[in-house]
Structure 1
Amino acid sequence: MAATVTPGRYPEAEALCAFIDRSPSPFHVCQTVARMLEDAGFSPLAEVDAWPGPGRYFVVRGGSIIAFDSSGFDHGELPAFRIVGGHTDSPNLRVKQNHDRESAGLAQVRLEPYGGAWLHSWLDRDLGVSGRIAVRQGDQVVHTLVRIDEPLLRVPQLAIHLSENRRGVELDPQRHLDAVWGASDPGRFLERIAVAEGYHVDDVLGFELMVHDLAPSRVMGVDGDLVSAPRLDNQCTCFAGTRALIEAADRNAGVLPVLALFDHEEVGSSSDRGAGSDLLITVLERIALTHGLGREDFLRALALSDVASGDMAHATHPNYPERHEPGHQIAVGGGPVLKVNQNLRYASDADGEALFVLAAEQAGVPLQRYVHRADLPCGSTIGPITATRTGLTTVDVGAPQLAMHSARELMGAADVGYYAAALTAFLAPA
């Protein structure tokens, strides 16, 4: 029986698939988001330039992007910021600095895990390469995005006949994740990348390269009500948040909507462009300054402001229901999820919860509430970090999914639209 995927039944899910396939790395996420924003009338800003007055703008720092619409506020008017946060990075395998090796007559590229990658899911997949390189051009250094959507690399699984008791293999991240890329000597890996991008390898001064699964994202299932894709965590939030900002920008709801998407969440957010950096608070203060506000007014504006930290949520797994909190079952296709943790792995408190409940009601979408099992360690998000750095009321939310941190993840097609609608209502409260 063939699946009967009806085109147009879930347009948001189809658009999400296209977004993900355009965005194999955090740097490409920023590029994809920037293009969506420019199409909607937003303009880029550079941090080194003086910023203009009210308008629709975005700024990129590495793999992070912050966008905002201040056009609804007059010069000198005190804004209340409404912020949707998320992250652009996903767990994956990344290229080591000294990456070329040979073993058993095969040419290999040394890889290492980034974040909490579910390592077995990366085996036996056709892998492309993406990221960025820093290149010398005359007396300047420029950054160039790299994207090779060809089956360049593969990490082969051990044959079952060679495993102990045929029960699988425990992967050692140091020894078992190097990729094969040639049966003969293909030369230096970085040189091949440089030539593909039109550069000499000696001009490549630095690189941040990673691999990505080449299988395209798909709306799937017998009735086309599921989404199978890489990097749903957290590109679904990047997509839904961008849609929400664009929609909110046309509503003039009396708040100043902001989208803040950070790199490096999967490894703790402690970087120049992570949620633990000064990026968000600096952008907010510069917005205030361009509106003719002083430091006192800026601090007053912060006291009026709120954040929805968007990250994906654990749907209840049908094969492992016992791994979930029995009183908080989360359904695929059941709407966005409000996440609460008493030990503050999520930042939600009663005030933040109320804000998102009202947003879901305004959007007319169902809302689910998630609590992690008390006997299992709970993951975290940018929410607690953002709340600590800014002092803003923060609520942690997400869309439900299965197979989080796998190379390939699964979610409900209807949840993409639900999630975007709720985030839009949060950025543009009635």
Structure 2
Amino acid sequence: DSVVVIDQYKVNAIKNNVFKSNLAYTEPLSKTLTLVLNYGLSLSNGRSDRKSFNQSVQGRYDLLDTEFSNDYQLDQIINSGGAIFNFKKGKNVLNAGSKFSGVNFKQEDLFNNMRYDRKFVNYMPQAMYQYNFSQQKNFRINYNGNTQQPSLEQIQPIRVNTDPLNITLGNPDLRPSFRSNMNASYSSYKVISSQSIYISGFYSFTKNPIVSDVTTDNTTGASTFRAINLSDKTPSNFSVYSSISRKILGTNMGLGFNMNGNTSYNLINSVQNQTKNMTYSPSININRYKDGKYNFYGYIGPQYTTTVASVQQAFNSNGWGAQGYFSGSVQLPGKFEITSDGEYTYRGKTQAFNESFKQFLWNATVSKKFFKAQNLRTSLQGFDLLNQNQGFNRSASNGNITQSSYRTIRRYFMFTVSWDFTKMGGGAATPAPQN
């Protein structure tokens, strides 16, 4: 382990201004075909003035550290336009088209008197097809793509020394990547039996992706990070979700299943690493309500997660978990209402982490409405009544499987008074003068 003390006084002044506008024009070309044209203009400018001062002999922090001080001025103009054709006939709905945006980017390093200009074009095609079997049953599939430009931080990072063991380097030779997204869904609902079926799927992939190249010094533990293009690999994401529900004895009961995963790449000390994540989540849910009386909803289900990195195959983060949630509200006499909700989370031990995590977050509210219109409400709310709230996260990226825990706001109470303005009054109408 290494410990580095940074004894500096830092002053940051950051300011951003953004203006956006958009115009759209629709032209019917026939009874079944319309054309939508749009144009947008976006202007943004900002300044990031970050100064670091070292301690002088007098004990004051007034010696400017020129290596880790920055003063950047950023100006950006984006002109965008596009055309979308919409076709609708019978049970068929189809639209297709594309949008383009031209970006003029200018950054000035006022501290070192340097200027960086960049111009690029973003391409955003889209298409959608929907077939309506009936008002309660349809199938839909769509596609959209977009150019992903490298960020300013990836091209020319701001020099900072707040984390000397992790240094980010710029790469001015980065090229844009292109991401394609596809999803499809099928839904059906039977009114008499209150039976519903829903199936959806999503898949995306990225060509010429921008990934992280990490080099770690095993002696000092310091790492440098640089973004590069990876032309021979294609990162991807996918998800599949299905659910079926039916009303039984006045209660809506349903089963659901969700599966999602992703594959990502990066370089670790010049060795290409592949990280695969998968999550499987079946669930059961119930819902029962009566207008003006009560409403209850809840679901619960196990979860199994796998995380494997090719560079460190001996370590993984495969493990079980569980998720549950409930919410409910009851209307009481005297215009009182009680509402409550809770969420349960459990993450089991894995090969990488020999500890489990569980918590139950429970909130409740008592409220009362006033007046005939019931537009004045007072509420007493209690959050995290069991005082268990804690930040927790497990993730895998850049060949590292990490777990973080952090403190957050725990149990607290809040009293609120709210007034619902349902009308914007203009006063009584003035009668017309009579001759």
Provide TM-score, normalisation by structure 2: 0.21
Provide TM-score, normalisation by structure 1: 0.22
| Greater RCO, 1 or 2 (C-alpha within 8 Å, sep 6+) | 1
Highest Rg: 1 or 2? 2
Choose between structure 1 and 2: higher helix proportion. Answer: 1
